[in-house]
Structure 1
Amino acid sequence: MTLRSPLTSMPLNDLTKTLRSLSEDTKILDNYDERSMTTQRLEEAGLGPLAVELANLHTSKEDLHAELELAWWKSALETLLERSGRSLAADSDEIVQIEKRFAAAETELIAAGSKTVAYGLSGKWKQALENHPSEAQTLKELLKLKRAVISEVGQLAPHVYQALVPVVLASPYEVPRTLAKGERFDVTLVLDGAGSSIAENYSGLVRSSQVVVFGDGVIAAATGFNIECLPEEDQTVRLPESIFTAARRSLPLEVLRRSYRTSGQALGDYINREFYQDRIIFEPTAASYFGQSNVKFERVVAGNSDQPESLDQELSMVIQAVMSHATYTPQDSLLVATASPKHAERLETALRTARTTRTDLDPFFESHGREKFEITTIQELAHRVADRIIFSLGFGKDLTGHAPKLLGQLSNPNGKRYLANLLVSARKQMTIVSALDNKDLLAKANPGVEMFSDLIHELGRVQPIRLEADLNPMIADLAIRLTKLGVTTRTNFSTRIKLVASVGDKAAIVEPDWGILGYNLSERYRLRPALLEAMGWMYLRVPSFELFADPEQVARSIAMSLGIEVTKKAQPLFELSEPAFEDTASAWGDPGDSNDQRLAEDKPPHWG
């Protein structure tokens, strides 16, 4: 037992109890020999001070393992410092500068790579023209006659053609007409493997001995094709197998899990959860942290109708939205999609009428190249991307006040896939226009309609889903220190973002260096920081060594990076928590109101 004071200074009653305890509590002596031997072995191993400290802390048997592990890591750290203290003790600013120089050098190397390839191709092109002057003259004549198609150039100037055309991009339906028969390539890349069959890509497959197939079975499926016109009822319902499905059975599979869209992904969490089972890594934007949603639901106010498809009110709202976009945000591409072919036709007609009075907006409708404005149905929407998308359902309530039994292409057996393809097509913003909400669609059993109902319910969620995950104690401590400095913090913001710190409209991702373990150097120091900064974040990486050694200085550095003048800011003396009851005026019998202000304002008469 431990004596709190010398025996000679104890009161008689306490001395009696102490002596009785010393004489009766002898269990501590039962294994004295074993403990003495263990203590001696700890001393020999240099762990004597640790044993004394554990004894003073009264460490329980349950916590002993954690204490020993901590001691081991501490000794390992001390050993590393002894062996390479110079590198570990280097100034953190110096380390950051080294990392930035690495990122800049790699960026320059990538930029130089394209120039190197261009130089090599130009050298081959020049050499081919010099070595084969007759073929060069033939090519010149074909260019003059505007007959320089790939197949003819390959036949009339084969040597020049090899240097001129190292890569050919073509639709699989145009390959036989574009390329000469028997022409060979090193590799064939199939870019829409999930949306096309083996038969459709056959002409490209036979021209090479290697194939790489890209595809996403969630948003695309092979539909096949016919070479004759058949009545609708005679067409087969069974879809052909895609080349992507066939290839993944026998070829090595590489899953691309990370999204590099700098504008983020509209409804990224919902898409990932519902369609990809959380297999894709979508980084959130800084705008989402501040509560700015990139998805809007515009409810159309309309009564019951005997013609619930393509209501006039919904038609008018969509046309107004299109004209508003062309007026105020013409720099962004726009796409309008609907589940009703009838609604799509009426939208086209109404838009043509509206444009006759706003000819100043014509440049927008003719711009954006491959992303030129378009009104289409969700079934015809395939691999189409736009900055902003308006999805107009195209249906309202019938005379009974209920939604129609069928909601156009959304009720198609592939309606869920159509909807998934639509959602991943929006870069910046998705606007849903509908006269029906999720309450009107609850009774529908079709997968596509059920998914649309669930989507509208997701948009009505007030608070985002909070991530429940263990938080590293050092990160939790850093968050508390930042809060005391006046910084707003949020922990477990996403699966990969454990701490966000913000002041005003500035938001920073605070990432310890153990959070980027497993990534290569490019991902650590160039790709990930650049992606997060492009999405509106400040990226602050914290060395774990500094966070462990001086967390207060790390917190101050982060606060200053966010614009807080730490040195001039008075720090609170106590924890930011409610005072205990015994510290309140009520505990002392005093009234709850304070007269401090009155005493400060009262002045004796002679003060004037």
Structure 2
Amino acid sequence: ALRGLPLAPEAIEFAVAREGLERVYRTERWLPRFDAATLARHAQRLGDAERQLLGRNARTLAAAVRQRFRDHVQKSALPASQLDAEGKVFKKSYNAGRRELEHEFGKTMRYKAIRELASGETGQVVRDMKPIWLMSPLSVSDTLPLAADLFDVVIFDEASQIPVEEAVPALYRAPQIIVVGDEMQLPPTSFFSSGRDAEDQTVSVEDEDNEGDRIAVVLDADSLLNQGARNLPATLLAWHYRSRYESLIGFSNAAFYAGNLYTIPDRSLPSEERAEILVQSTAASAGSVAAQADALLSRAISFHRVTDAVYDSRRNTGEARHIAQLVRELLRRGTGRSLGIVAFSEAQQGEIEAELDSLAAADAEFAARLEAEYVREEDDQFCGLFIKNLENVQGDERDIILLSICYGPNAEGRMLMNFGPINQRGGEKRLNVIFSRARHHMAVVSTIRHEAITNDHNEGAAALKNFLRYAECLSRGDDATATHVLEGMNPLTRGAVRAGHVPADAVSVQLAAALRARGHAVDEQVGQSRFRCDLAIRAAGTGSDAGDSHYALGILVDTAAHYENRNVLERYVSRPRILDAFGWGVRQVLAKDWLHAPEAVLDGIEHALVEKGALSAPRPAA
């Protein structure tokens, strides 16, 4: 055929492939009629069925618990003549428990301890009434009887902070356990405990004034999570939902998770170069603070360099003053965003609190707003302003996080490489905790730039140095250097952060070229993690310098990598749903449709743009 046909080898290859496809069509009669519209209908049915299944599962479980309670009450009310010996014992015990509880509910003082009510004859009645208990492992030991059948399942959350010896008694109380946690979060700590053998189990960190911070590095610590990860079947929960911008979690993903997290692509476009945010805390004016707040709210990560601050006795008054002024400005604007402040030491935490109190004492209006923010709740959940240090912020999250780096030159201009607990074993885990608390914005307030840190042989100090450089580059709009920082931290996983590393897909390349020929601005492989939009169309009239620059539509193509994921629900329901929840418009394109009807595919994309208000009318083909 190669010798006899007047065709190039590529044309012959195409003809052979096309004939193979036609044979499949003749065998699978449904396939020629299957297109993107059919796929969308099936995906909608699948998504609806999933929601119904979850709802029915919940109702079934609740009904089973209620029915068990009713059966026990009914059994305890039967005449003794209708019960066997075991039933009579149950009737006597259950009725005694009910009477005791009813008597206890009628009291106004001298209540029995929970341990007494959870044990003995009242215990079974209490568990029938309240089948779900939320407790710490130590509370389980203090409160519940030591029986192996108290619960169906025991679930441990934040298991990285649970010592094994505290977990074992809770493990014994159910036949099934679920251990949830993150090995890159903090291990079991004893920051505020006393009476420990400090010589063997904790480390004292001395600063330049010979004043030590007792930090919570337990050298022989072992957590339930570590044991569970080594001995139990494990599943990675890879989807990250907290951060509304990828850059807020991008550093942790590259530095601590080897790029294995799935993060949601940013709908906003990469920005042009922006001015550095320089702060003079002693000469701050209302106008300068307002401009700095504008910069904070316009960037996912903003780097505020305080030029006149001094580090003294584990405190940095300049940074604390700037953070307090930012809080006042943000509360004055009434953005509705929740606030959290994180310091690297207890001393700096106290300094920030003192600066806020000082501003409140001089400004009654701010004092009222601050007090309201401290106790703010939404949907019966506390979401008020917190001020914490790196030891106790795990588990918290806020829309805006203000981070005080604190460290810097002393009054003599001397910069010491003493970063307290960050220098110790596990210091990088402490950094991971505080770097991943923000949902919308993080303001990094620092006296130093990354080059001031020279002891980068230490893992914790190296992570801090890289983060400062990453934050400063993103704040200035230098995305290329920020990506280079992420690649440099983990060379084995550079493909997770380099967009160009993803092999080009023929359909995606052709589709992008056709859309550009119709006048659309198209970006390929949008995203920083393994989950990306194959193509993203920029909103009409929004260049990278526009104030509201964003993508109008994300396009998912069924590439070879698409089919590597065997989870159909995730491919066609979960991923589009996640993008939609983050503000994206989503269009799925099948390679089969592009092969047979490319113009119809392009017209469908433009109709989707019209529906999104990003295009006034479909444009004619070029």
**TM-score between both structures, scaled by the size of structure 2:** 0.75
1:284 and 1:268 map into 2 onto residues whose CA distance is 11
What are the Cα deviations for residues 400-454 of structure 1, in whole angstroms up to 9, with x where unaligned?
4342331344334432211111112222221110111112224554332321221
2:457 and 2:243 map into 1 onto residues whose CA distance is 37
Written as runs of structure 1 = structure 2, the 5 A alignment for 1:65-464 is: 67-68=12-13, 70-90=14-34, 92-132=36-76, 134=95, 135-145=97-107, 147=111, 149=114, 151-182=116-147, 184=149, 185-223=151-189, 229-230=195-196, 232-233=198-199, 235-236=201-202, 238-261=219-242, 263-287=244-268, 293-302=299-308, 305=310, 307=312, 309-329=314-334, 331-356=336-361, 357=364, 358-361=366-369, 362-368=371-377, 369-442=381-454, 445-461=457-473, 462-464=478-480
1:354 and 1:144 map into 2 onto residues whose CA distance is 50
Out of 457, 467, 481, the position equivalent to 2:514 is 481
Report 1 or 2 for greater relative contact order, CA contacts < 8 Å, sequence distance ≥ 6. Answer: 2
What are the Cα deviations for residues 3-32 of structure 1, in whole angstroms up to 9, with x where unaligned?
xxxxxxxxxxxxxxxxxxxxxxxxxxxxxx
1:92–1:274: structure 2 CA closer, same or farther, 3 Å change rule?
closer
1:488 and 1:150 map into 2 onto residues whose CA distance is 66
Unaligned residue ranges in structure 2 (runs of 5+): 78-94, 204-218, 273-297, 484-497, 541-549
3-state SS of 2:553 partner: strand
What are the Cα deviations for residues 124-144 of structure 1, in whole angstroms up to 9, with x where unaligned?
333433433634343232223
1:224–1:404: structure 2 CA closer, same or farther, 3 Å change rule?
closer
- Answer with 1 or 2: which has the greater Rg: 1
**TM-score between both structures, scaled by the size of structure 1:** 0.76
Matched residue, 2:593: 546
1:217–1:496: structure 2 CA closer, same or farther, 3 Å change rule?
closer
Matched residue, 1:595: none
The one-letter code of the counterpart of 1:546 is D
Matched residue, 2:556: 511
3-state SS of 1:439 partner: helix
Unaligned residue ranges in structure 1 (runs of 5+): 1-38, 40-49, 573-608
1:447 and 1:210 map into 2 onto residues whose CA distance is 37
Out of 577, 595, 604, the position equivalent to 1:530 is 577
3-state SS of 2:342 partner: strand
- 2:117 touches 2:126 (CA, 8 Å); kept in 1? no
1:335 and 1:308 map into 2 onto residues whose CA distance is 24
1:289–1:73: structure 2 CA closer, same or farther, 3 Å change rule?
farther
Written as runs of structure 1 = structure 2, the 5 A alignment for 1:16-95 is: 52=4, 55-59=5-9, 67-68=12-13, 70-90=14-34, 92-95=36-39
Compute the RMSD of aligned alpha carbons. 3.1
3-state SS of 2:184 partner: coil
Matched residue, 1:496: 531
3-state SS of 1:200 partner: helix
Number of residues of Structure 1 aligned to a counterpart in Structure 2: 515
1:329 and 1:445 map into 2 onto residues whose CA distance is 44
Q: Tell me by how many angstroms 1:226 deviates.
A: 11
What are the Cα deviations for residues 145-197 of structure 1, in whole angstroms up to 9, with x where unaligned?
27473651442334433422333221011112221233633333222322222
What are the Cα deviations for residues 320-367 of structure 1, in whole angstroms up to 9, with x where unaligned?
122233333563332211113221112122223333423431222102
2:116 and 2:148 map into 1 onto residues whose CA distance is 9
- 1:262 touches 1:535 (CA, 8 Å); kept in 2? no
Q: Tell me by how many angstroms 1:280 deviates.
A: 1.6
1:227–1:496: structure 2 CA closer, same or farther, 3 Å change rule?
closer
What are the Cα deviations for residues 289-317 of structure 1, in whole angstroms up to 9, with x where unaligned?
578741111111206x5837433321211
- 1:267 touches 1:295 (CA, 8 Å); kept in 2? yes
- 1:391 touches 1:433 (CA, 8 Å); kept in 2? yes
Which stretch of the first structure deviates more once superposed, 433-442 or 228-237? 228-237
